[in-house]
Structure 1
Amino acid sequence: MEVTELLATAVAALGGATRDGQIEMAEAVARAFATGEHLAVQAGTGTGKSLAYLVPAIAHSLDDNRPVVVSTATIALQRQLVDRDLPRLADSLSGALPRRPVFALLKGRGNYLCLNKIHNGSTASEPEDVPQEELFSPMAASALGRDVARLTEWSDTTDTGDRDDLKPGVPDRSWAQVSVSSRECIGVSRCPFGTDCFSERARGRAAEADVVVTNHALLAIDAIGDLNVLPEHEMLVVDEAHELVDRVTSVATAELSPTSLGVAHRRAARVVSAELAQRLEAAIATFTSALFDARHGRIDVLDDELASYLTVLRDSAHAARTAVDTARNDPKTATARSEAASALSDVADTSSRILDSFVPAIPDRTDVVWLEHIEDGRSAGRTILRVAPLSVAGLLRSRLFGHSTAVLTSATLTIGGSFDAMASAWGLAGPRDDTAAAPDPGWRGLDVGSPFDHAKAGILYVAAHLPPPGRDGTGSAEQLDEIAALIEAADGRTLGLFSSMRAAKATAEVMRERIDTPVLCQGDDTTSALVQRFADDEQTSLFGTLSLWQGVDVPGPSLSLVLIDRIPFPRPDDPLLTARQRAIAARGGNGFMAVAASHAALLLAQGAGRLLRRVEDRGVVAVLDSRMATARYSGFLRASLPPYWATTDGAAVRAALRRLCDTEDSRVAR
């Protein structure tokens, strides 16, 4: 049966409606799987893109008898696919397929309980991963002990050992006592619990599945690391593909911090000689002291003192790592030795990588190094030395897209009206590699549109009369007046997307004094609880920052106005993005447009996409940054947004919001 027939069968069985964009996407996905050409598909909200790639994925897998891997950015979408979409789809196609397809969810090893660590590891009796200041807190220690006791009991009853199946959950430090990373695992052949290992059982299920659902982080580990964690596959679907580069960059980023170095020393001290442990401790103490005195920000030139301390740290960690005997087959100490070896290898490898990154001249470097200070409620905060790749395009091109045919999809993939920026960041665009073992299959972009009539359903309002935003991130008096007037016209029903938490909180405080409808702010409660309260009360407004730009799905009249306080350019002191701008400028390109403007355009598109979540939705996206109308790059930014009806007439927008509010009120009254 052709993919269009399968799709029609599924849509009919699920009670859906035919959508031209969904059909076009499904046909394109099937063609990509058949030809090996990579495909980037922009599918607007309401298209039904999950069905559009799942139907051809299932059909291809059953026909080819090899798995298709589906990667997503969020746990919520992974769960939706495995727990709801795929089982319902299998039921709907039961008479049209040769057999029922098999699905599996696969995550990184650290997401599963480790039975060996629970029974033979340190767990809470030696809470090595607890921050130093909490080690002497009876309350913290007792909470950790209770968590580990509950996790130990749960290990006897759970079928999956999956952290997400634990309700209620536990903090990261508690989970760390009963889990291991892939590098810390002693190996299934040596582990006394190997046959019962939750992670290995999940991998076993994935090996037998037709569709394997995973996340971008594990996909990156499989592609750019030395571990083959996913089953062999030739077909890949990347949903939420606009987040792929950031997730891969995160996986490829390494760091040295007082906390991680302290953990490495405590682990090493249990399994190496006192002399080696003391040598490592001294190296860590000297290095961390230098970190506190160093200037924060990107490091272009490594001074001799810090280079010397890094060298000593590298050598002492390497010496300790060499002394750890991981070959001894004693399950009682195997976990401790494996964890020590992993932590010491991380320290030595990261130190070497940082030192090596400064060897080439600045234009030829492939890594960026910076010192970051994080305020986290402690008196002095935390200082971390990080190293990240300047670009992951080459990694993705050679290690991921060179081995799998990829379909990359999201509601927002075109930046400035083109796929080129995304394709370049993924490594699909650019010079072809004539030395590759296999010919480059190429790629194409496809925008299947949206079922929404954006020009009739939404207004894009740019407040061109406002003064440009200041550097301090807080709103001007004129902007606050504009916000109050718009929210009052909408009678609440507002999602406020701010460029910083400081701006969100400051504006929320002012609005609570000036308007009569409730205002919630991110940080008042968990984000999920706040979104639920926002959705349940039509007069409530919700203000927040980055996670709300991409993570809110509230259809209906509870969300009639999306406020964006300013164009979300990256911070001018962001070390990685400014380094990428500089690298592009050095090659003769426009670093600002390629990095800063593209970053802002993608976030704007994500934020504006919060407005219309179903065909019946109506409302306004208000950008309170006059540069959106006056700056030379404003056309590029607007071209990245859905095609709403655009205006700079504030009075007309407020009148439209009042009419919309009256319409909703009369609907409820009926």
Structure 2
Amino acid sequence: MASAVTTTAPGIDAALDLVVADRGGQRREGQHAMARAVGEALEGRTPLLVEAGTGTGKSFAYLVPAVLRAVTKSERVVVSTATLALQRQILTKDLPAVAGALADALPRPAEVALLKGWHNYACKHKVSGGYPEETGALFELEPAAEHPATDGDEGLGAQVVRVREWAAETETGDRDELVPGVGDRAWRQVSVTKMDCIGQRCPLLAECFPERARVAAKEADVVVTNHAMLGIAASGSPNVLPEHHALIVDEAHELVGRSRSAATAELSGPSIDRTARMVRRHAGVVVASLEECAQQLAAAIIAVPPGRLPDGPTPQLTEVITLLAAACREALSATKPSGGGGGAGDGGVQMARSALTVALEIADRLLSDNVAQRRDVLWCDERSDGSKRLFVAPLEVAGLVADHLFADHAVVLTSATLRIGGQFTPAAHEVGLHDPAGYRELEVPAPFDYGKQAIRYVARALPTPAAGGGGPEALAEIVGLLEASRGGCLGLFSSRRAAERAAEHVREVTDLPVLCQGEDSIGELVRAFREDAEASLFGTLSLWQGVDVAGLTNRLVIIDRIPFPRPDDPVVQARSEVAASRGANAFLSVSAAHAALLLAQGTGRLIRATTDRGVVAILDSRIATARYGGFLLRSLPPMWPTTDPAVARSALRRLAQEAVDGAGVDRTSRAESDVDA
């Protein structure tokens, strides 16, 4: 990172005007207000929470002050996103646009770097034979980044051949640059986790892709990363990020979930058995007690009923886990490297030792009082084949995020859906910002006239939907809406089975084309939906967030039921108990808050540009009849409301006439300045 330069740079307002003018856009007061607030947060270090609706241009609103601060003050800024799509937009469009527009106004060019988890890069040493062949999934501390779906007709062998050929030629080693992508099993043939890496003993250290990325990040002004990396940092490994002055978290509504996922651990008999076999195979050490523990652990877990263990491990589990911890320590001592090396033997030993280290950390965690003290949640999960596994997750991550991510940094959290029930307070509390005087709030409304562009139809007359999908009345309602709109529907369902059932029914009783999640990659399904004015796309959680289809080809969004979390979810149960013990309304603060966030995300799929029009149809009557309905509605855009199906269908018929007969707006010609993930 270059040293600070004293040349006077433009102010934030002037700089943003330069960027917007360079892009051919128009000045937006909301965007400027956000940019000024971000600049103040970077200057004064008071955390800022910003809900900036779709179309506000929020990425420019935080990138302009970030670049100005980083270049003029030599204070590195880390920008994190939750989705690959937004990461690509920032790296390939937004940051180059800001840097290009400000090139003549800044004292020096801005340096930008991309940083991901170690496992997201190819390992040259592994490709060249420096590690033994992968024998199966092991413990993974670093979650894999999002990557393109694979070709379902390509077998594992062909994927391995292709990824090895690519790894020998790539200049970055970045998994996301391999198109089409490959599955996790194939990718493991060319990559290692940070714990598996032999580090300074590696003979190809000078050519290491993840090491190069980290060196570049330490020298950059702006570092773009993902929430998985923030989750690892929050879990107690802050050094995965370079030293930085400020952290800007886009898609901030995902931060808590990603942080909890990074801190969630799994333990099972087969996983310990694999570890024991690795120790024997790669380190030449036989630890009989470890192999015995694998069998005993599997037997002990089978005896545990599925669900939450609120008081911690059973006595039988505790006994076995105590023996497991001792066996792991013995094996770690026996496999301690003597130095030197750098060949496949070293790689295999390191893989075995990393698996042992993770197993020991999980064992020690389960033997602590974390579960009894309600710091962790422990549960037993049963798979469809009857096998069982233990999972342990932090009950709350507020302390982890506040201590390891926010402390001593300027922080900006932004999202199109950050308020819950119309308030920032729930989101602030989840990341450890408990004092209202300790952070600032800003709402930047979307530049849409929701009351004129969209109708929110609640099917008040329908019965309460069943958990497994809508009954015949709901299916009939879906068909009626689709026939009125002549397709053009994004159907958001609470389960895969519900989506499949609805798709099957529509295909049976109409001639309208319906695409369904699972029939192809999400990218291909969205592309087909976008290109066919009569097609509909049905799916689950992957479609509730991140799908961006503007124009009349997406004129109807159907939500089958309020997306409450499963009542038997162990983390939800534990969080509800804690909320109740603190005198809060457990249902509103946990389940309803979760549902409100997803509803806002799902509803937001409809209006993506100032020319969009359409109907959001919510087929769950509880949103109109239950006491908590108002809480949920306060999280949604202010669309024109109705409970009259005739009104919704009449509007859809008019929109269908425009869309299908070609009288609508050009759905592919949206200005980039209107796009905001």
TM-score (structure 1 length as normaliser): 0.92
Match in the other structure for 2:170: 158
- CA shift in 2, pair 1:93/1:330, >3 Å: same
Matching of residue 529 in structure 1 with residue 541 in structure 2:
no
2:382 equivalent in structure 1: 373
What's the offset of the Cα at 1:194? 1.0
1:393 is displaced (CA, Å) by 0.4
1:427 corresponds to 2:437: no
The question of whether the paired residues in 2 share the 8 Å contact of 1:494 and 1:561 is answered with yes
Give 3-state SS (helix, strand or coil) of 1:54's partner: helix
- Once the two structures are superposed, residues 590-617 of structure 1 have per-residue CA deviations (whole angstroms, 9 ceiling, x without a partner) of 1111000000000000000000011100
1:383 aligns with 2:393: no
CA distance in 1, matches of 2:610, 2:485: 20
Task: Show the counterpart of 1:466.
Answer: 462
1:413 aligned to which of 402, 414, 418: 418
CA distance in 2 between counterparts of 1:232 and 1:391 reads 26
CA drift at 1:271: 4.5
Match of 1:127 among 116, 122, 135: 135
What SS is found at the alignment partner of 1:459? Answer: strand
1:297 aligns to 2:307 (yes or no): yes
User: Is the partner of 2:623 in helix, strand or coil?
Assistant: helix
Q: Is it true that 1:492 corresponds to 2:487 in the alignment?
A: yes
Counterpart-to-counterpart distance in 1, 2:161 and 2:280: 26
Where does residue 117 of structure 1 map in the other structure? Answer: 126
Cα distance in structure 1, aligned partners of 2:11 and 2:422: 32
Spell out the pairing of 1:615-626 with structure 2 (5 A cutoff): 615-626=610-621
Shift of 1:358: 5.9
Structure 2 residue matching 1:386: 3-state secondary structure? strand
Do the aligned residues in 2 keep the contact of 1:328 with 1:334 (CA within 8 Å)? no
Give secondary structure in 2 for the equivalent of 1:16: coil
Match of 1:231 among 242, 252, 259: 242
How far off is 1:566 after superposition? 0.5
Is structure 2 residue 31 aligned with structure 1 residue 22?
yes
1:649 alignment partner in structure 2: 644
| Residue 340, structure 1, aligned to residue 352, structure 2 | yes
Task: Pick one of 562, 576, 583 that aligns with 1:588.
Answer: 583
Which secondary structure does the structure 2 equivalent of 1:617 belong to? coil
Contact preservation (8 Å) 1:517, 1:539: yes
Matching residue of 1:317: 328
Q: Distance in 1 between matches of 2:631 and 2:405?
A: 30
1:155 Cα deviation (Å)? 3.2
2-side partners of 1:515 and 1:261: how far apart? 52
1:190 aligns with 2:185: no
Kindly report which structure 2 residues correspond to 1:202-221, keeping only aligned pairs within 5 A, or say none: 202-221=213-232
Please name the residue that 1:662 is paired with: 657
Alpha-carbon separation, structure 1, partners of 2:319 and 2:579: 31
Q: Secondary structure at the match of 1:228?
A: helix
Q: How does 1:69-88 map to 2 (within 5 A)?
A: 69-88=78-97
2:415 alignment partner AA: S
Other-structure match for 1:33: 42
Out of 363, 370, 380, the position equivalent to 1:351 is: 363
Match of 1:11 in 2: 20
RMSD, aligned CA:
2.1
Tell me how far apart the structure 1 counterparts of residues 162 and 505 of structure 2 sit (CA, whole Å): 44
- For the 8 Å contact 2:236–2:404, the answer to whether it is kept is no
CA distance in 2 between partners of 1:359 and 1:412 (Å):
32
| Distance verdict in 2 for CA 1:275–1:348, change over 3 Å | same
Judged with a 3 Å threshold, the aligned counterparts in structure 2 of structure 1 residues 23 and 310 are, in CA distance, closer, same or farther, namely same
**Alignment length (residue pairs):** 641
Distance 2:487 2:346 in 1: 59
Whether the 8 Å contact between 1:82 and 1:213 is mirrored in structure 2 is yes
Residues of 1 paired with 2:567 and 2:36: CA distance? Answer: 43
Distance in 1 (CA, whole Å) between partners of 2:617 and 2:286 is 64
Query: Residue 238 of structure 2 contacts residue 404 of structure 2 at CA under 8 Å; is this kept in 1?
Result: no
Q: Deviation of residue 353 (structure 1)? A: 0.7
Match of 1:437 in 2: none
2:446 aligned partner: 450
Could you tell me which amino acid in structure 2 is paired with residue 196 of structure 1?
E
Alpha-carbon distance in structure 1 between the residues aligned to 2:295 and 2:127: 31
What is the CA–CA distance in structure 1 between the aligned matches of 2:25 and 2:446, rounded to whole Å?
16
Residue identity matched to 1:328:
G
1:280 matched to 2:280: no
CA positional deviation for 1:373: 2.3
Look up the match of 1:137.
Answer: none
Q: Which residue of 2 aligns with 1:395?
A: 400
1:612 to 602, 607, 610: 607
- The DSSP-based 3-state class of the residue aligned with 1:265 is helix
Give how far 1:274 is off: 4.8
Q: Does structure 1 residue 639 correspond to structure 2 residue 644?
A: no
Quickly say closer, same or farther: Cα 1:145–1:522, change in 2 above 3 A. closer
1:58-77 equivalences under 5 Å are 58-77=67-86
Contact 2:450/2:639 (<8 A) preserved:
yes
- By how many angstroms is 1:67 displaced? 1.2
What corresponds to 2:565 in structure 1? 570
2: CA distance, partners of 1:64 / 1:309: 55
CA distance in structure 2 between the aligned counterparts of 1:143 and 1:463, rounded to whole angstroms: 45
In 1, the alpha carbon distance for the partners of 2:220 and 2:156 equals 37
Q: Is the 8 A contact 1:41 1:410 kept in 2?
A: yes
**Contact 1:321 1:341 (C-alpha < 8 Å) held by counterparts:** yes
Consecutive unaligned residues of structure 1, counting only runs of 5 or more, are: 132-139, 432-440
CA contact (8 A) 2:270 2:298 kept: no
How far apart in 2 are the matches of 1:490 and 1:444? 43
Aligned ranges for residues 45-60 of structure 1 at < 5 Å? 45-60=54-69
Equivalent of 2:279, from 258, 265, 268? 268
Q: 1:155 to 1:359 in 2, by over 3 A?
A: closer
Q: Which moved more, 1:480-489 or 1:595-604?
A: 480-489
Offset at residue 259 of structure 1 (A) = 4.7
User: Aligned equivalents of 2:237 and 2:18: distance in 1?
Assistant: 42
How far apart, CA to CA, are the structure 1 residues paired with 2:393 and 2:303? 22
Equivalents in 2 of 1:666, 1:19: separation in Å?
34
User: Does the Cα contact within 8 Å between 2:71 and 2:221 map onto a contact in 1?
Assistant: yes
8 Å contact kept, 2:451–2:639? yes
Conservation of the 8 A alpha-carbon contact between 1:397 and 1:426: yes
Match of 2:182 among 151, 170, 187: 170
- CA drift of 1:524 comes to 1.1
Shift of 1:490: 0.8
CA distance in 1 between counterparts of 2:503 and 2:115 reads 40
Query: Paired residue for 1:404?
Result: 409
Alpha-carbon contact 2:132-2:347 (below 8 Å) kept:
no
Partner of 1:516: helix, strand, or coil?
Answer: coil
Residue aligned with 2:379, SS: strand
Deviations 1:384-443 (A, max 9, x none): 211000000011111111121111111000110000010011111259xxxxxxxxx821
